């Protein structure tokens, strides 16, 4: 079986995102209808969704969505879980038969909290403890993959067109207040279940259209902070980059954006002295985290999402607002499929973030 990094197929992808800022949940049918409009942007080798607010009854638990290639891998990981977490509920992720989705891995989910004595001995925050466990599973347990690990959220992905993936995972039966979606046309991979988007860590999720040329520089820098890019794909590196900048280093979102999509030097020269010093410091300190190449991404979190283009806007990205809802997508048609007459539609400039936050929160 071909894995990530073995195949190169140059092309594009589709992304879409919807947030209700007032936390009014809506069915997954809406995001499926949006991404389905862009069917021709993908080729059936990967589709996926991230959903937030879908597990309110377990909102304080880390919800692990797992892929297992074998029962042996499942048993080994469950021994690891039982020695590091209090597992309050586990079970098969519900699916239905869909002709467009072939046989995949064993799909299981676990609702867990870290064991108090393990946290105390490790002297880590709960989030850092969970992040390290995710890295260990993905790098050390053959045949096991953590699809998502955040609270009150989950990633649902597979090999197939995104609308088929949504039907397969029965997303019409889920309700959430933030949804993102991806239709994949792999650029450097053959397409497999773990390689489909979104890529996640804790409650971060990233869907990505494009191909970054800075992957190796980004990966090497991230490895110095104990991130392990086991899938050899640029979207994984983007996810870990934002986790490092926002969670670990505590940068404000606007400075994180100026790090990954830094202004050109001629633009920096025209800034006032204070802003110039800040941006120059970012470019010096985080030079290896500059993301080069064409991209448009949606970064999801428990507090909202951010959509961002590369500095030259080499990938399409459109946004729209209607009352308390914000929409972003690769094409305007994907927005109008679910919101026929939005109050405002616009196309952001390259490097300009579109930020949608839940009511009452100040940052992702």
Query: Whole-angstrom Cα distance, residue 339 to residue 99?
Result: 29
DSSP, collapsed to helix, strand or coil, labels residue 103 as coil
Burial of residue 15 (CB within 10 Å: 0-12, 13-18, 19+) is: buried
Q: What is the pLDDT of residues 176-214, one digit of tens each?
A: 999 999 998 766 566 679 888 999 999 999 999 988 899
The residues annotated as belonging to the active site are 13
Mean per-residue pLDDT over the chain, rounded: 94
What percentage of the chain has pLDDT greater than the value 70? 95
* Six-digit token string for 188: 């450097």
Name all domains of the chain by residue range, CATH numbers in brackets: 14-250+293-357 (3.60.20.10)
Q: Above 60 in pLDDT, residue 9?
A: no
DSSP, collapsed to helix, strand or coil, labels residue 321 as strand
Query: Whole-angstrom Cα distance, residue 307 to residue 300?
Result: 9
Distances (CA, A) of 291 to 81, 191, 310, 318, 330: 35, 23, 8, 20, 19
Q: What is the pLDDT of residues 96-153, one digit of tens each?
A: 999 999 999 999 999 999 999 999 999 999 999 999 999 999 999 999 999 999 999 9
Mean pLDDT of 74-85: 98
Considering only CA atoms, give the Rg of the chain: 19
Contacts of 35 (CB under 8 A, 6+ apart): 14, 16, 47, 162, 163, 166, 181, 182, 183, 334
What percentage of the chain has pLDDT greater than the value 90? 87
Q: Above 80 in pLDDT, residue 286?
A: yes
pLDDT reported for residue 67: 98
Instruction: For residue 10, name the pLDDT band (cuts at 50, 70, 90).
Output: very low
pLDDT reported for residue 231: 81
Mean pLDDT of 42-56: 93
């Amino acid at each position: 079986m071909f894995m990530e990094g073995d195949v190169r197929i140059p092309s594009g992808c589709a992304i879409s995102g919807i947030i209700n800022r007032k936390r009014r949940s809506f069915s997954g049918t809406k995001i499926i209808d949006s991404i389905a409009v862009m069917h021709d942007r993908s080729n059936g080798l990967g589709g996926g969704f991230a959903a937030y607010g879908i597990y309110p009854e377990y909102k304080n638990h880390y919800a692990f969505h797992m892929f297992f290639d074998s029962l042996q891998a499942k048993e080994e990981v469950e021994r690891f879980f039982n020695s590091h977490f209090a597992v309050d509920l586990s079970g098969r992720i519900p699916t239905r038969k869909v002709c467009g989705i072939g046989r995949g891995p064993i799909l299981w989910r676990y609702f867990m909290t870290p064991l108090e004595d393990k946290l105390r001995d490790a002297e880590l925050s709960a989030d850092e403890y969970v992040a390290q466990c995710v890295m260990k599973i993905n790098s050390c347990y053959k045949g096991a993959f953590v699809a998502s690990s955040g609270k009150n959220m989950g990633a649902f992905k597979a090999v197939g067109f995104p609308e088929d993936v949504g039907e397969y995972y029965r997303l019409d039966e889920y309700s959430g207040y933030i949804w993102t979606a991806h239709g994949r046309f792999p650029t450097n991979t053959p397409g497999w279940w773990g390689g489909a988007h979104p890529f996640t860590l804790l409650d971060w999720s990233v869907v990505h259209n494009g191909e970054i040329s800075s992957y190796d520089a980004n990966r090497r820098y991230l490895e110095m902070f104990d991130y392990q890019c086991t899938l050899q794909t640029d979207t994984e590196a983007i996810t870990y980059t934002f986790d490092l900048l926002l969670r670990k280093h505590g940068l404000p979102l606007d400075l994180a954006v100026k790090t990954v999509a830094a202004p050109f030097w001629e633009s920096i020269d025209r800034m006032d002295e204070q802003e110039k010093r800040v941006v120059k410091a970012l470019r010096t300190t985080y030079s290896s985290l500059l993301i080069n190449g064409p991209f448009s991404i949606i970064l999801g979190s428990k507090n909202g999402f951010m959509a961002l283009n590369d500095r030259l806007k080499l990938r399409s990205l459109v946004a729209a607002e209607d009352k308390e809802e914000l929409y972003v997508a690769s094409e305007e048609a994907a927005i109008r499929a679910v919101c026929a007459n939005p109050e405002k539609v616009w196309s952001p400039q390259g490097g300009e973030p579109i930020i949608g936050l839940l009511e009452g929160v100040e940052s992702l």
